[in-house]
Structure 1
Amino acid sequence: MAQSQPAPRGIALIHPSWPCPQVQNVVATVNLDCRLDLLALSQQARNVEYSRKKFHALIMRIRDPKTTTLVFATGKMVITGAKSAELARLAGRKHARMIQKCGFQTKFMDFKVQNFVASCSTGFYVRLEGIVSRYPDFARYEPEIFPGLVYKIAGANITMLVFTNGKVVITGVKEVDKIYESFAKVYPILLDEKMGDVVRR
């Protein structure tokens, strides 16, 4: 029986009555440490797309875990779509093995998560103009350009997108704990600008 993964430490910062952000996408990179002939690979591997005229990478997809990987001739891979770092690593290893079976001497080096994307819904409407007026150094809101408020976390390269309907998207995170630390800092600000609960239909 598989053991469940321990909860990230940062979750302890989320009050039990608050919504908790969920990881929606992990972007990770891997180095296979060998040059690849993408045309030859596209002719041998399954579930791939390759068009040199449109894009200089081969696209590989697998269903378990459901991910899409960009494979470059340099041997670099970019994995997207996984729901955790562990699943991104698993997908990378599966792709590396598929490429190896096509005759390339692949290794699995320098696995690194480049970005966690997480989201949640507060369940209430948020007055975005109020956040901008109170935190002009961190918040930017230009509804004619983008419908969400862009909030930069001080001292980190982390961005939170906040929408009027209470939807929050967190991006630019390289460590999963930072998702919860960032949300714990900003959620009280959202509560201060609450306009009313979202009615579920």
Structure 2
Amino acid sequence: MITDTERVSTDAEVIQRSRQEPAAFSTLFDRHAPALHRYVTRRLGDSLADDVVAEAFLAAFRRRDRYDLSHADARPWLYGIAANLIGKHRRTEVRTYQALARTGVDDVVESYADRVESRVSASAAHRDLARALAALTPDERDVLLMIAWADLGYEEVAVALGIPVGTVRSRLHRARKKTRAALGGTDPTQIAEEAEDG
């Protein structure tokens, strides 16, 4: 049961408390596991998401004594751990994007697409986008997807990946440029919005 104190505590305060009371760390899991799971599912598919998220939180729990308490929000830290674990599955991620590019079937998105028309138009866009994502370098893909799917800002991505903000900006610029080129100059965020509106 989550107490009122746990609801208003920052992630840093929860982590600090968990150093004396390990069970307090579950608050961090409750806060961030669903979003992290969605992110990992989009990257690796549902079959690996449970394991990667569990590994990420186990690693975070083990490293909680080294967490920089000056960072109130632990999301960048958690996504950084997840990115390292996703890195162990790069081949699976690229194969997933290549399969999507061939078939146009995205199991994660398909469960939400109720209209046949939106499926048809979105299918072509998903194929092109998947092909573009598979062609990115792992570093470019990490930055692009943390910003697009995890909704992290530049500074948060920099913290998550342990790189300077300028590097985040340059990788994101390259990733967007390559993705737009692969999509014939179309902004991939417009494709997602049109698919949702359709």
Q: TM-score with structure 2 length normalisation?
A: 0.29
Structure label with greater radius of gyration: 1
Q: TM-score with structure 1 length normalisation?
A: 0.29
Higher RCO (C-alpha 8 Å, min separation 6): 1
